[in-house]
Structure 1
Amino acid sequence: MGAQGSNLDDVLAEDMHHWYNKFMRESPSGLITLFELKSMLGLQGITQEASSYVDQVFLTFDMNGDGYIDFVEYIAAVSLLLKGEINQKLKWYFKLFDQDGNGKIDKDELETIFKAIQDITRSYDFPPEEIVNLIYEKIDVKGEGELTLEEFISGAKGHPDIMEMLTKMMDLTHVLEIIVEGRQDLCQKGVQNA
């Protein structure tokens, strides 16, 4: 994550009082709705797939399923993304990919998420179909066309190339920067750095 990561690490290390005040300034109700999250991230006018991906991210962070992200869920999400152990991150990725919640991820679910990520990041380095085929070729040892949590974790950890690809694709540092620094601050930095 480089210099940006260390900046976010420093921000996360600040006392909870600071984080709580920031959270309450951004969301005076003490809760963030899906609409507020999309507004905060400046995600108006995105494709349906990208919108579905943001919905799924929101649902994975809404740990109690009440339709809001509260302060505890907010801090847990930021901590997971910045400092989470590899198993924690892989479990989160799996939950994100498992859109229908059946405990397995199939090729369509994975491809949909990867397309959505590319729509949001505007990075189209690899076609999602190729990425999905590579993952299933290496990880789906039974050839069933779907992966359980255990298969996904052991397969990803057993193939450094897949782990690196997942890590790069699922890097939400830019999202955290927007949340931490605010959309306007980042836009001003972009103008200053140009």
Structure 2
Amino acid sequence: MTDQAFPDGRPGLPSPLPQTIWLTGLSGAGKSTLSRRLDEALRQRGVPCSVLDGDVLRTGLCRDLGFSEDDRRENIRRVAEVARLMNAAGVTVIGALISPLVRDRAMAREIVGPARFLEVHVATPLAVCEARDPKGLYRKARAGELRGFTGIDARYEAPEAPDLRLDTGVLDEETCLQQLLSLLDARGR
């Protein structure tokens, strides 16, 4: 690997630049599963990487936030700032967050930097996500026990032009993984 300068001028950042792969989609779409599979594949390639999973981050870094639009925006801002710092330190980041609003994902792209940010829409249909319901959240939302749940009584704005669109209701994990790796390879990772 050749040395390049960090964005702040420090020498030593390996080429190519680390990326942030931002997986967005409904709860149960497969974001966490794909992020873990991609993390494993990149590590096997010797790529320093880390997964920033929305569910995990809400138990620590973002535990003080709820699910209002303002709190969701702040959650995404924090995660994007962490991703930017990790990218600058030479680590590729795989973010797995519902991140339901276009404006918030655009903010994340701006924070991370467009040259490093790859938006991947895990475009699994609501019916498939609801049938999976791994945490029982859709059942609770339908019963009125959970308010503001994305896809039920809170909106999800699908990306219009993501870098990649994956429907895990149609594509198996291995096919999705290969498409993610191909996307990164095309970026020079």
**Which of the five TM-score ranges fits, normalised by the shorter chain?**
under 0.3
Bigger strand fraction: 2
TM-score, normalization by structure 1: 0.27
Of structures 1 and 2, the one with the larger relative CO (CA 8 A, separation 6+) is 2
Bigger helix fraction: 1
